[in-house]
Structure 1
Amino acid sequence: MSHVLIHDPEGDHNPYEPVSWARSPLRPTTSQRVRLGVRVVEPVGGVEVEWRSGVAAGSRSLDLEGDVWVGEIGPFKGSARYRFVSDVGHESRWFELDVLRWEQTSFAGLRVSGESLEALCEVGALRLTPHGDVVDWEVVPASEEGVPGQAGESGGWRAEIREGTLWLTSDAASLNLMPPEWCFDDHGDPVAVSLSWTLAPDERIFGTGERFDRLDQRGRMPDVRVYEQYKQQRSRTYFPVPWLFSTRGYGLSIDSLRRVSFDLGSSESHLATVTIPDRGARGRWYLGSPERVLEAYVSDVGRPSPLPLWAYGPWMSGNEWDRDQRIREVVNKSLGEGVPATVIVIEAWSDETTFYLFNDTEHDPVAGAEPVPAAAMRHGGRWPDP
Structure 2
Amino acid sequence: MTKWCKVQVACGAFLTNFFIGGPMKAFGVYFLVFQLDLAASAKQASMVISIMYGTYFFTGAGSCMAVTTMFALVGQIFSDKRPLANNIIALGSAVSSIPLNLLAQIWIDSYGWRGSLLLMGGAVLNTLPVILFTMNGAKHCNVKETTSQRKVFDTSLLRSFSFLLYCLASSMYIASIVLVNTYLTRYAQSQGIESIAAAGLISIIGAVAMALSPLGGYMVSLKTIGPFPVNRSYILSVTLVIQATAVFTLPFATDYLGVVVVVVVYAASLGISGAMPITVLSDLFGTENLLTSLGVRSFVIGAFSMASPPLIGIAVDATGSFSLPFFLAASLSCMAAVFFVVVYLCVGSREDRKPDVIDSDTKVIESNEAKT
Computing the radius of gyration over CA atoms, which structure comes out larger, 1 or 2? Answer: 1
Please indicate the TM-score interval, normalised by the length of the shorter structure. Answer: under 0.3
RCO comparison, higher one (Cα < 8 Å, 6+):
2
Structure having the higher strand fraction is: 1
Structure having the higher helix fraction is: 2
TM-score normalised per structure 2: 0.23
